Amino acid sequence: MSTSLSIQDDDGYVVELVSPEGAVAQTDDASLYGVRNASNLDASRRVGAQINSESTAVAYDYTHFPVYGQSLSNGTEGWPALSRTQPYNNVMVGGSVRQASIGSASFSPVGGSSAFQPLVANVMSTSMAVLTDAEVAALPPGNGAFGETVAEGLVNSLKRLHNLRKGVIDDSIAFVASSSGVGGRTIAQLTKGASPNIWNVLVGHSQAAKANAVSAGKSYGIGAFLWLQGENDYPSTTKAAYKAALSQLWSDFKVDVSGGVAGQQLPPVMLMYQTGASFTSDGNGLDTALSIGQAQLEYSEESSDVYMVGPVYPYTDKHTSPAANGHLDPNGYRWWANLAAKVAYRVLELRQGWKPLSPRKVVAVGRTISIDFHVPEPPLVFDKPYLSYTATDFPDKGFTVRDTVGVVPISSIRIVFETIVELTLSRDLVGSAYIRYADKTYHDGNGCLRDSDSFVAPDRYVYQVGTGQYPEANIAELVNKPYPMHNWCVAFNHKIQ
C-alpha cells in the first residue's frame, strides 16, 4: 500500500509524490522545486512564443532608430570610436549621430549639412568639435568627450542580422541612427515642453531624416525608440512619478515623432536599459529601494510595446573607482548595443515576445528563501560582472535581505535546476522583509546572475594600443572575441511573502 501527496502551483502544474512504503516521499529538490521549475520553463517558453502583431516591422526604405536620454545615450566617455567603417549601407544625419550643439532647443547637424552620410562613429570634444585620432589618443583619463554610442552598434548589428535572415546583402533598405540625448538631465528636463525644450532636438533629428528620405523618393518610418535615462532621477523621483513621466514621454513620442513626423500606421517599440550600477539608490525605506530601476521594469512589464533589454552593470566602463560602474567605455557601449540589436531582431524581425531575466515569485519557508525566475535561455548561471575592467565576484551573488531589524545575513546560496535561486538565512525574518538584487549599499548596483544565451554577437571586443583605450581594457578573455550575449538579471526589490 502506498500514500501520495499532490501539489499544484499557481500556473496549474501538478506533481504527485508517492511513497511505496506508505509514507509521503521525502522533501528533496525534485519534490520541493520540480513543479515550480517546470512552470518557470513553460512561462519563459510562452514569452518567446508570443506574436508581436501591434508594432511596426522593418518595412521602410529608411528605418530610423532614434536614441534619447542622458549621458549613456550620447556616448559620453565612449572614446575612442570603434565603429569607424560602414559595411551595411546604414546612415546618419550630417557628420555624426549627435547634434552640433548639446543642450540646445533645436536640432543642428554636425558639419552644417543634414544630408545622409554613411554611419560611422566619431569622437567629439565637450565643445562639440570633431577630434582627430591624434587628439583622441592624447585625451587624459576621465575626459568627458563623446565617442562610440549605442546607436552605431545597434543598427549595424541589426542590419547584419536582417541580411542573414534574408540570405542576401540587402542594400535596398538602410537603417538611420541618431542620438539626441543630453547628459545630467532628469526625465522632466527631457520631456516635451521643458525649458530649454530639448525635446525639439529629438523631433528635429527625425524631421531631417524624413526630409532626406522624401527628397530621394523613399519611405521613412521609426523602427524602435531607445530610451537610456534615469540616473539623474535617483534618488529624488519616486517610482510612481517616474512611471507616470515615462508613460507621458512615450505617448508624446508616438504623437510627435512616429505619428507626426513619420506618419506611420503601426507604432514603433520602445527599447530601454535599466538604470543601475553605481547610479542606483537604495532609498530610505524597505519598499523604496531601486525606485527608478523598479519603475522601468514595471512599466516594461505593463506595456505591450515597451521592452527592457536588460541592465548595464555587467559591461566594461570607465568609472575611476575600482568598485563601481559609471560611463561605459567604447566596448561597453557597443556590447550593450549588440544586446539591444538581439532584442530588436526578436521583436521587429521575428515578431517574438521578450522579457529580460527577472523574478517571477519569491517564497519564504523558515530561513529558506527561494526565487523563481523568468530565464530567456536556461539554465541560470552565477558569473562575474565587470566592475570597470575587473571581473568581480560577490559571495552572496548580489542579493541582500532586509527586514524591520536590518540586514539578514545570507549563510548560503545556490541555483536549483534551471530557474530557481535558493538562499539560506542565518536568522529568522522579523516583520516586513524584502529581498534586493544589485543594490547600491553592498554591491554598488551589481550582481552575478545571468542566463546561458549562446547567441553570437555580430561585433567583437576590440583593444588597440595607441588609440586612447585604457590599458586596463586589454582583457585577454575578451579581446578579438564576440561580445558574450548572456542576459543578466535586472535589479529588483521584491517583498518576501
pLDDT (0 to 100) of residue 201: 98
pLDDT (0 to 100) of residue 10: 61
CB 246 within 8 A of CB 301: no
Kindly report the CATH number assigned to the domain that includes residue 433: 2.60.40.1220
Distance of CA 458 to the CA centre of its chain: 17
| 0.85 exceeded by pTM | yes
Residues 430 and 391 in one domain: yes
Nearest to 360 by CA among 47, 29, 133: 47
Kindly report the CATH number assigned to the domain that includes residue 306: 3.40.50.1110
- Residue 55 resides in a domain: no
- Residue 57 resides in a domain: no
Neighbouring residues of 132: CB distance < 8 A, sequence distance ≥ 6: none
Residues 242 and 219 in one domain: yes
Residues 320 and 366 in one domain: no
Tell me the CA distances in angstroms from 387 to 198, 333, 348, 366, 484, one per residue in order: 32, 14, 32, 34, 16
Residues 363 and 235 in one domain: no
- Residue 54 resides in a domain: no
| Final residue of a structural domain among 320, 349, 378 | 349
Residues 183 and 38 in one domain: no
* Residue 399 structural domain: 358-495
Which residue has cell 521643458? 194
pLDDT (0 to 100) of residue 27: 60
Cα separation, 133 vs 140, whole angstroms: 14
- Residue 440 resides in a domain: yes
pLDDT of residue 60 exceeding 80: yes
pLDDT (0 to 100) of residue 22: 38
Concatenated DSSP letters of 347-416: IIIS-B----SEEEEEEEETTEEEEEEE-SSSSPEE---EETTEE---TTTTEEEEESSSEE-EEEEEEE
Helix (H) or strand (E) holding 458: strand 456-460
Helix (H) or strand (E) holding 220: strand 220-222
| Final residue of a structural domain among 303, 331, 349 | 349
CB 277 within 8 A of CB 292: no
pLDDT (0 to 100) of residue 313: 96
Residues 343 and 363 in one domain: no
- Residue 378 resides in a domain: yes
> What pLDDT, in 10s, does the model give residues 136-161?
999 999 999 999 999 999 999 999 99
Residues 313 and 450 in one domain: no
Q: Which residues of 330-369 are buried (b: 16+ CB within 10 A; e: fewer)?
A: bbbbbbbbbbbbbbbbbbbbeebbbbbbbbbbbbbeeeeb
What confidence category does residue 326 fall into, taking pLDDT thresholds of 50, 70 and 90?
confident
Residues 314 and 411 in one domain: no
* Domains held by the chain: number: 3
pLDDT (0 to 100) of residue 11: 58
- Residue 228 resides in a domain: yes
> What pLDDT, in 10s, does the model give residues 342-358?
999 999 999 999 999 99
The CA radius of gyration of the chain, in Å to the nearest whole number, is 23
Residues 131 and 184 in one domain: yes
> What pLDDT, in 10s, does the model give residues 162-203?
999 999 999 999 999 999 999 999 999 999 999 999 999 999
pLDDT (0 to 100) of residue 35: 96
Per-residue pLDDT, averaged over 35-44, amounts to 97
Residue 314, beta-bridge partner list: none
Nearest to 174 by CA among 268, 83, 61, 258: 61
- Residue 383 resides in a domain: yes
Residues 79 and 23 in one domain: no
Residues 10 and 75 in one domain: no
Sign of CA dihedral 324, 326, 328, 329: negative
> What pLDDT, in 10s, does the model give residues 233-287?
998 899 999 999 999 999 999 999 999 999 999 999 999 999 988 888 888 778 8
Residue 362, beta-bridge partner list: 371
CB 136 within 8 A of CB 145: yes
pLDDT (0 to 100) of residue 281: 87
- Residue 392 resides in a domain: yes
Residue 465 neighbours by CB distance under 10 Å: 8
Residues 374 and 296 in one domain: no
